[in-house]
Amino acid sequence: MTHILIIDDDEAICRTLDFHLKRQGFEVSYTHTAEEGLPMAFASDIDAVISDIRLPGRDGLALLADIKAKRPALPVIIMTAFHDLDTTVAAMQGGAVDYVPKPIDLDELDAALECVLARGRTGSGDDLVLRAAEGGRPQMVGNSFAMKEVFKRIALVAQSRVTVLILGESGTGKELVARAIHQASAERSLPFVAINCAALVETLLESEMFGHERGAFTGAVSAHKGKIEQVGEGTLFLDEIAELSPRLQGKLLRVLEEREYTPVGGSAAKKSKARFLAATNVNLLERVAEGGFREDLYYRLNVASIDLPPLRDRRGDLVPMVEFLLRKINRDLRRTIRKVSAEVMACLAGYDWPGNVRELENVLMKAVVMERGDVLTLSALPAEVRQATVKATEQPGQKELPSLREMEHDHIERVLVNTGWHKGHACDILGISRPKLERRIREFGLKSPKQSDG
């Protein structure tokens, strides 16, 4: 029988997990401190550990390091109420095989355990131990299921120098993800250089990427090192990669395949040890089918991928994002906005955010500039945001914006209808777990038509 060890200082959580896991057919032991849990984890009959990060005395990350030092193949799942990128990276790069946020979603925990134990059965236990990244990491904000998955993928891909393709609409934060990958990697002390492939004409972009020799073209009075050479063994981020011309696509493919390139006007090839990250807001496979992007280059870039959800599909992240952005704007503009009115939050929650996080920051900055007091009020928001929200939500005879709860009701109902009440697809779009969706359906009294609920 598979033996699971739970380490958490909350007796109620231990009892809940003990009851739940025993019903699943597991043998369960639990304790409340790292000091008590460590010798139990070293026992040969323990098959997996589920541990909280915040423990009295030695914390869960220190416990994780001790376990990995002596039993590197023992899978450890980390639980925490702190849903941020730093915690996720520290846990995943410390050797945890998964990261489950609190309050615990039992379905999510079951899925993590099943994945862990299936991996163990095939003999592919994770025995790689890397120290957690320290400081300097770009801050990313989000408590939604979709963003927690993004945090996990950042932590995982940062452990190797694999090429990563970052996908998402404009304004979702693709460069922020690229910087987070670099900062979480072992090469964080080396340069990170970004190039916008859509910002320069082909000849200038070629020189910027690959460099040029003296006399290569009119005005080339001296040799110039390209970004590939400048970055050395660091990270080169190619934004808007879909805008590369066919000729530059071919040159980039050579770098990725052969690790060499030739500067403009040069004859001798140079070697590259750079780590490449790329991003786009278009469907590259469609571009490949249309003949506008090389298929071989697409597969070289898409070794691993991270798909950023648009802001309209993770409205639950609005509150922490607004708090974070306002702190930043207060600091930058030397303002002291201390509160956001409920009307403002309702308006922001009802807007579709075609420009995503970039647009949200821009709207908040405009509002802070216009607000005279220390409370952000509806009148300070740009007129286009207020008008778009009212137009989308106002009913005949209704003059006030709906509450956040009413908006959540309408949004969940709309997603369920659009997915034909396929709850799995609805959870993916909403960024919530299946149990949470079921609770909302009951709370809102939503009714399914007579068809499969997926």
DSSP assignments along 205-220, one per residue: HHHHHH-B-TTSSTT-
- Check residue 104 and report its DSSP letter: P
Show which of 284, 307, 330 is a domain's final residue.
Answer: 307
Judgement on whether residues 47 and 91 belong to the same structural domain of the protein: yes
Question: What pairs with residue 347 in β-bridges?
Answer: none
Higher-scoring residue by pLDDT: 315, 130: 315
In a domain, 274, yes or no: yes
**CATH number of the CATH domain containing 351:** 1.10.8.60
| Whole-angstrom distance, CA of residue 13 vs CA of residue 19 | 10
Tell me how far apart the 2 most distant CA atoms of the chain are, in Å: 76
User: Structurally, how many domains does the chain consist of?
Assistant: 4
**In the Cβ-directed half-sphere of 179, how many Cα atoms lie within 13 Å?**
13
Euclidean distance between CA atoms 262 and 271, whole angstroms: 9
| Mean pLDDT, rounded, for 410-427 | 78
Closest CA to 177 of 145, 210, 149: 149
Question: What is the pairing mode between strands 270-271 and 260-261?
Answer: antiparallel
Residues 6+ apart with CB under 8 A from 312: 352, 353
Q: Which of 332, 346, 335 is nearest to 377 (CA)?
A: 346
299 and 151, same structural domain? yes
Q: Are 368 and 325 in contact (CB under 8 A)?
A: no
**Cα dist from 4 to 117, 123, 141, 276, 421, whole Å:** 11, 18, 32, 40, 36
Nearest partner of 226 among 181, 184, 182, 271, judged by Cα: 271
Q: Do 277 and 354 sit in the same domain of this protein? A: no
In a domain, 110, yes or no: yes
**Inter-CA distances, 189 with 87, 138, 184, 277, 360, Å:** 20, 14, 10, 17, 31
- Do the Cβ atoms of 82 and 111 come closer than 8 Å? no
The residue type at 24 = Q
Looking at per-residue pLDDT, the higher value among 130 and 96 belongs to: 96
3-state secondary structure of 388: helix
Long-range contacts of 398-406 (CB under 8 A, 24+ apart): 401/343, 401/346, 401/347, 401/350, 402/346, 402/350, 403/342, 403/346, 404/342, 404/345, 404/346, 404/349
Domain identity same for 105 and 182: no
pLDDT over 70, % of the chain: 88
Whether the predicted pLDDT of 215 surpasses 60: yes
Structure tokens at 106: 């039992």
Interatomic CA distance for residues 116 and 122, integer angstroms: 10
- Residues 398, 421, single domain; the answer is no
**Are both 85 and 201 inside the same structural domain?**
no
Residue 419 shares a structural domain with residue 371: no
Is residue 132 in some structural domain?
no
State the pLDDT confidence band at 305, using cuts at 50, 70 and 90.
Answer: very high
Answer yes or no: is 30 within a domain. Answer: yes
Report the amino acid identity of residue 19: F
Question: Which of 175, 150, 156 lies closest to 83, judged by CA?
Answer: 150
Q: Which residue, chain included where needed, has tokens 């959580």?
A: 13
What is the Cα gyration radius of the chain? 25
Residue given tokens 């320069």 in the structure block: 200
- Look up the CATH number of the domain holding residue 292: 3.40.50.300
Q: Is the pLDDT of residue 255 over 60?
A: yes
Condensed to tens digits (0 to 9), the pLDDT of residues 261-287 reads 999 888 889 999 999 999 999 999 999
Residue at 128 is within a domain: no
Q: Is residue 201 part of a domain?
A: yes
Residues 162 and 108 in one domain: no
Q: For 223-234, what is each residue's pLDDT tens digit?
A: 888 899 999 999
The answer to whether residue 427 is domain-embedded is yes
Residue 341: domain span: 311-402
Pick from 348, 332, 330: which is nearest to 402 by CA?
348
pLDDT digits (tens, 9 = 90+) for 339-398: 888 888 888 888 999 999 999 999 999 999 998 888 888 889 998 888 876 655 454 444
pLDDT for 45 equals 83
Q: Phi then psi for 408, rounded to 5 degrees?
A: -65, -45
The model's pLDDT over 19-37, given as tens digits with 9 standing for 90+, comes to: 999 988 889 999 999 999 9
Question: To which residue do tokens 């609409």 refer?
Answer: 169
Quick: pLDDT tens for 177-199: 999 999 989 899 999 999 999 98
Query: Band of the pLDDT at 128, cuts 50, 70, 90?
Result: very low
Task: Kindly state whether residues 382 and 424 are assigned to the same domain.
Answer: no
Q: Based on the domain organization, do 149 and 252 belong to the same domain? A: yes
Residues 292 and 390 placed together within one structural domain of the fold: no
**Hey, what are 302's tokens?**
């898409």
Measured CA to CA, the distance from residue 314 to residue 87 in angstroms comes to 21
Same domain, 184 and 247: yes
Per-residue pLDDT tens over the stretch 50-77: 999 888 888 888 889 898 888 888 889 9
Residue 73 included in any domain: yes
CATH of the domain at 86: 3.40.50.2300
Beta bridge partners of 215: none
3-state secondary structure of 354: coil
pLDDT at 451: 43
pLDDT tens, position by position, 71-110: 888 889 988 876 667 777 777 777 887 888 887 888 778 8
